[in-house]
């Protein structure tokens, strides 16, 4: 397929999709990847120019009960002015030295915009390939989320044995999204999304709002990054999207330099390019939950919880529970019933046993640790482990 024909096809598909550009998006747990161009746009260290609006967006998401894990680039860019380098072509050793010193600045730059504590998690791809380390990362992130901490992940550049090139953090973010079972991945950079042509050269380039299948033609649309501080580019973003959607994670490429995009996201509108999650994966999990797993008990919910589950895509909190029937263990499937009309509205996996739930039902999640002496999770049934019927 020639690029012209390809562009015509893409334009037609965009026109056909006009009706769904305003499609409502929802997410419960997201990985947000922020590129160096946003963290250190002036090339002389970190700046709040774009990170402030991103931090405000994250805070609003958290206030709505959504969970966020940040993957932030910018170590090399932030440390650039501190390490002497001379030539614009940096050696790997110099980049590592910059990254290590810049990491401190980058973390401090994020922390100043949050009232909640931020944590620093430095990993390499090989950590994710090692089962024990994988679980360790997963558990650390989960416990931090449960305790209202914002995990901020970056590659541990000092320890990487390969060059820092090829957009590690785009791919890293996709891997992190898999580790922590995010439902969405937002890749924020200084470009609006995927275009039918390079928008910096062609005035008639059109933004593609929705990509259902990542094909060679989509890769052919990816230009290379012009920003010498960034190691990625459109190609690595598409690679990351490909990794994530295969795991059922909706992926978005969004322009984080435009503060209005965050208002769109909060209004459930897609301001960039969305790569749709592979629905077969989601379907397979929901199918297994709905048809294969046998329910071991019942939880009845108040009308607030019913509304939150059915209309807002929320997880079930202890505060919305009215009563519990039968002895089930943590990890068992349970039926979720509307207490007003006895309607069977959902099925999900309870993170708490019947006896623990009896003690925390009707209570705020903050009280779980005091009542039980442990806090397995702030939610009783996570949205990812639930099917609405």
**Where along the sequence are the contacts to ligand GLU (CB under 6 A)?**
35-36, 73-77, 99, 154-155, 157, 164, 167-169, 230-232
Minimal distance, residue 138 CB to ligand GLU, in Å: 21
Contact predicate 265/271, CB 8 Å = yes
Which residues contact residue 274 at a Cβ distance below 8 angstroms, ignoring those fewer than 6 apart?
25, 209, 210, 211, 250, 251, 252
Minimal distance, residue 89 CB to ligand GLU, in Å: 16
Beta strands in the chain, from DSSP E residues, in sequence order: 29-34, 67-72, 118-123, 150-155, 184-189, 210-211, 250-255, 273-275, 295-301, 321-325, 333-338, 343-349, 386-388
Whichever of 7 and 36 has its CB closer to ligand GLU, that residue is 36
Whichever of 184 and 236 has its CB closer to ligand GLU, that residue is 236
Whichever of 100 and 375 has its CB closer to ligand GLU, that residue is 100
Whichever of 28 and 251 has its CB closer to ligand GLU, that residue is 251
Q: Which residues pair with 195 in a beta bridge?
A: 207
Whichever of 120 and 375 has its CB closer to ligand GLU, that residue is 120
Minimal distance, residue 106 CB to ligand GLU, in Å: 7
- Angle of CA points 378, 379, 382, to nearest 5°: 140
Whichever of 13 and 158 has its CB closer to ligand GLU, that residue is 158
Minimal distance, residue 42 CB to ligand GLU, in Å: 15
Minimal distance, residue 99 CB to ligand GLU, in Å: 5
Whichever of 202 and 228 has its CB closer to ligand GLU, that residue is 228
Contact predicate 238/32, CB 8 Å = no
Contact predicate 63/197, CB 8 Å = no
Minimal distance, residue 164 CB to ligand GLU, in Å: 6
In three-state secondary structure terms, 305 is helix
Q: In sequence order, which ranges of 180-278 are alpha helices (DSSP H)?
A: 216-220, 234-245, 260-266
Whichever of 65 and 223 has its CB closer to ligand GLU, that residue is 223
Minimal distance, residue 40 CB to ligand GLU, in Å: 9
Whichever of 144 and 154 has its CB closer to ligand GLU, that residue is 154
Task: Count the neighbouring beta carbons within 10 Å of the beta carbon of residue 340.
Answer: 12
Give the residue nearest to ligand GLU (CB): 75
Annotate 367-387 with DSSP letters as a single string: GHHHHHS--S-S-SB-GGGEE
Minimal distance, residue 187 CB to ligand GLU, in Å: 11
Contact predicate 25/269, CB 8 Å = yes
Minimal distance, residue 271 CB to ligand GLU, in Å: 22
Task: Count the neighbouring beta carbons within 10 Å of the beta carbon of residue 226.
Answer: 12
Which residues contact residue 357 at a Cβ distance below 8 angstroms, ignoring those fewer than 6 apart?
299, 318, 321, 324, 350, 380
In three-state secondary structure terms, 147 is coil
Show the tokens assigned to 6: 């390809």
Whichever of 35 and 320 has its CB closer to ligand GLU, that residue is 35
Show the tokens assigned to 55: 């931090």
Minimal distance, residue 73 CB to ligand GLU, in Å: 3
């Amino acid at each position: 397929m020639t690029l012209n024909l390809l562009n015509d096809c893409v334009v037609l598909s965009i026109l056909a999709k006009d009706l769904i550009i305003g499609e409502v998006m929802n997410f419960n747990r997201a990985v947000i990847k922020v590129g160096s161009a946003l963290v250190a746009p002036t090339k002389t260290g970190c700046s709040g120019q774009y990170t402030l609006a991103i931090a405000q967006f994250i805070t609003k998401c958290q206030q709505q009960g959504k969970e966020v894990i940040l993957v932030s680039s910018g170590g090399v860019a932030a440390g650039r002015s501190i390490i002497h380098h001379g030539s614009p072509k940096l050696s790997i050793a110099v980049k590592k030295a910059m990254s290590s010193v810049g990491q401190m600045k980058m973390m401090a730059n994020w922390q100043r915009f949050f009232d909640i504590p931020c944590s620093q998690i430095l990993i390499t791809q090989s950590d994710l390939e090692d089962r024990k380390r994988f679980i360790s990362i997963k558990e650390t992130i989960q416990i931090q989320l449960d305790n209202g901490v914002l995990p901020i992940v970056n590659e541990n550049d000092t320890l990487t044995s390969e060059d820092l090139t090829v957009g590690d953090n785009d791919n890293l973010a996709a891997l992190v999204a898999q580790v922590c079972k995010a439902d969405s991945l937002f890749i924020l950079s200084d470009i609006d999304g995927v275009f039918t042509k390079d928008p910096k050269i062609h005035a008639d380039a059109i933004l593609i709002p929705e990509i259902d299948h990542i094909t060679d033609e989509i890769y052919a649309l990816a230009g290379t990054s012009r920003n010498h501080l960034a190691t990625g580019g459109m190609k690595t973003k598409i690679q990351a999207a490909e990794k994530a959607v295969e795991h059922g994670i909706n992926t978005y490429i969004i322009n984080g330099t435009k503060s209005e995009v965050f208002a769109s996201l909060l209004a459930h509108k897609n301001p960039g390019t969305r790569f749709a999650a592979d629905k077969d994966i989601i379907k397979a999990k929901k199918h297994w939950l709905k048809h294969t797993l046998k329910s071991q008990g019942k939880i009845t919910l108040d009308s607030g919880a019913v509304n939150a589950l059915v209309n807002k895509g929320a997880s079930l909190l202890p505060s919305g529970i009215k009563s519990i029937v039968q002895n089930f263990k943590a990890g068992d499937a349970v039926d979720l019933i509307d207490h007003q009309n006895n309607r069977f509205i959902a099925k999900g996996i309870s993170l708490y046993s019947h006896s623990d739930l009896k003690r925390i039902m009707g209570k705020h999640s903050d009280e779980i640790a005091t009542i039980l002496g442990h806090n397995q999770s702030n939610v009783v049934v996570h949205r990812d482990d639930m099917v609405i019927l």
